[in-house]
């Protein structure tokens, strides 16, 4: 790994940690998770922007495969690696740490770290970063809205639908294709293993999203039926 990339990672961890402390001081009456999700939403926007800027040819976003990473790709990956290290530590202080989230972070840290060490697979890894982060702003917005008092509102439901749709398209359509080309290309074995592992975690989360969405739809129908019954009772 180049020295300047190591400095980017170290500086990035300090940046995300400082940002969290700043957000925490601004929203002292909010929960720990609220502040962390604000930082996570900021990272998602930054990561997608970096990933988009580092694409070498938009007519073939995954080209060239199994090639040496460009400096811009390395910096984009370093920014996300620093965030993942920060967020993994942050998860340890959460009241309800999630095992699947920790596994995702460990897999991602090892995968990105390997890519930076090999200085290869920049196109595949930047594409993976774009795919995994494109739905993240809506993921965090769902939880932020709940804490702001918008649980079970039309706004919250709309964000739920947007998150589920974008996640499904990105991770269950783009994700499998990216995994396939990564496994097929002449990439290091560790990179291939991390690509497969990340896709398996995405599939597990997709299953959880389907369950969540079924629950939301059923709950919404019940609420609508109860409201209609109340109106009918009043009119009679």
What are the tens digits of pLDDT across the range 135-162? 999 999 999 999 999 988 889 889 999 9
Indicate the average pLDDT of the chain.
88
What's the pLDDT score for residue 26?
95
Worst-scoring range by mean pLDDT, 5-9, 86-90, 211-215? 211-215
Token pair, residue 71, equals: 């400096």
Worst-scoring range by mean pLDDT, 23-27, 56-60, 97-101, 143-147? 97-101
What's the pLDDT score for residue 233?
61
What's the pLDDT score for residue 214?
84
Task: Count other C-beta atoms under 10 Å from residue 129's C-beta.
Answer: 23
For tokens 């592992």, the residue is 197
Confidence of residue 229 (pLDDT cuts 50, 70, 90): low
Q: pTM score, two decimals?
A: 0.85
Q: pLDDT tens, 167-221?
A: 999 999 999 999 999 999 888 888 888 889 889 989 998 999 888 888 878 777 7
Query: Where does the chain have alpha helices with state H?
Result: 3-26, 32-53, 71-92, 99-118, 122-133, 136-147, 154-169, 175-184, 189-235
Confidence of residue 66 (pLDDT cuts 50, 70, 90): confident
Worst-scoring range by mean pLDDT, 74-78, 92-96, 178-182? 92-96
Decide if pLDDT at 115 tops 80. yes
Decide if pLDDT at 102 tops 90. no
Inter-CA distances, 90 with 40, 145, 217, 233, Å: 11, 21, 32, 51
Residue positions counted in the chain: 236
What's the CA gap between 85 and 11, in Å, rounded?
A: 12
Q: Which residues contact 182 (CB under 8 A, 6 or more apart)?
A: 65, 121, 124, 191, 192, 195
**Phi and psi at residue 120, to the nearest 5°:** -135, 175
């Amino acid at each position: 790994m180049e020295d300047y990339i190591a400095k980017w990672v170290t500086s990035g961890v300090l940046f995300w940690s400082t940002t969290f402390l700043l957000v925490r001081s601004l929203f002292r009456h909010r929960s720990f998770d609220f502040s962390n999700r604000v930082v996570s939403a900021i990272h998602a926007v930054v990561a997608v922007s970096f990933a988009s800027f580092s694409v070498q040819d938009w007519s073939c976003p995954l080209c060239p495969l199994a090639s040496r990473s460009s400096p811009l790709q390395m910096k984009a990956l370093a920014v996300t690696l620093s965030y993942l290290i920060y967020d993994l530590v942050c998860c340890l202080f959460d009241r309800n740490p999630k095992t699947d989230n920790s596994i995702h972070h460990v897999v991602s840290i090892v995968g990105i770290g390997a890519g930076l060490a090999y200085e290869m697979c920049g196109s595949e890894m930047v594409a993976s970063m774009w795919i995994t982060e494109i739905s993240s702003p809506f993921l965090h917005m769902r939880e932020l809205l709940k804490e702001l008092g918008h649980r079970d509102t039309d706004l919250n439901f709309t964000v739920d639908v947007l998150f589920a749709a974008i996640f499904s398209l990105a991770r269950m359509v783009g994700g499998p294709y990216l995994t396939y080309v990564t496994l097929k290309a002449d990439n290091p074995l560790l990179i291939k293993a991390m690509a497969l592992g990340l896709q398996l975690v995405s599939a597990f989360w997709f299953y959880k999203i389907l369950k969540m969405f079924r629950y939301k739809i059923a709950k919404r129908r019940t609420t609508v039926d109860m409201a209609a019954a109340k109106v009918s009772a009043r009119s009679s």
